[in-house]
């Protein structure tokens, strides 16, 4: 998560930029009272990852309905990644890599107990579909902080 937090979108790879666009666009569609799948379908098709759309939409729907607290997503034009966006990017990047119990423990902090399993499945399927299309988020390299000796 911290590899993404407050990063400028231009510093992210194409998979992470696409995921941020999809997350923010899903939220914007819901706010406009539009079907998010219909609103996002052209973008997913343009990138050849149509199979990821229903799974990402399901993940966002579970978050929308089962979140334990209000989640905050930035507007489409915001240049930096927010906290909840960073968390989702990390989950998409590490799903299938980190052990499932670790992923589910993280999800249990976000959603009610009933939302954990559906969210874990949706994120895993979305991550797999994005990976097959070459758009799985990859964490940017941490530059680190140089400390000079006195």
The pLDDT value recorded for residue 3 is 85
Please report where in the chains the tokens 């911290």 appear, as a residue.
2
User: Beta-carbon neighbour count of residue 50 at 10 Å?
Assistant: 16
Separation CA 55–CA 122 (nearest Å): 5
Give residues with Cβ within 8 angstroms of 130, minimum separation 6: 15, 18, 19, 49, 52, 92, 136, 137
Q: Are 56 and 131 in contact (CB under 8 A)?
A: no
Q: What is the mean pLDDT of each run of 10 residues along the chain (150 residues)?
A: 87 96 98 97 98 98 97 95 95 92 94 97 97 90 48
Please report where in the chains the tokens 């034009």 appear, as a residue.
77
Tokens of 138: 């990859």
User: Beta-carbon neighbour count of residue 141 at 10 Å?
Assistant: 8
Prediction pTM value: 0.90
H helical segments located in 32-148: 36-46, 53-66, 83-94, 100-110, 113-132
């Amino acid at each position: 998560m911290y590899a993404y937090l407050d990063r400028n979108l231009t510093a992210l790879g194409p998979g992470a930029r696409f995921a941020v666009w999809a997350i923010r666009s899903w939220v914007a569609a819901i706010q406009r009272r539009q079907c998010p799948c219909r609103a996002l379908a052209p973008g997913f098709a343009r990138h050849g990852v149509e199979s990821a759309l229903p799974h990402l939409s399901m993940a966002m729907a579970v978050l929308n309905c089962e979140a334990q607290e209000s989640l905050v997503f930035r507007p489409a034009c915001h240049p930096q990644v927010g906290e909840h966006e960073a968390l989702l990017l990390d989950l998409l990047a590490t799903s299938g890599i980190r052990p499932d119990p670790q992923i589910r423990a993280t999800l249990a902090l976000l959603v009610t107990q009933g939302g954990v399993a559906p969210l874990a499945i949706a994120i895993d399927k979305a991550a797999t579909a994005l990976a097959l299309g070459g758009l799985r988020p990859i964490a940017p390299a941490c530059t680190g902080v140089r400390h000079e000796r006195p």
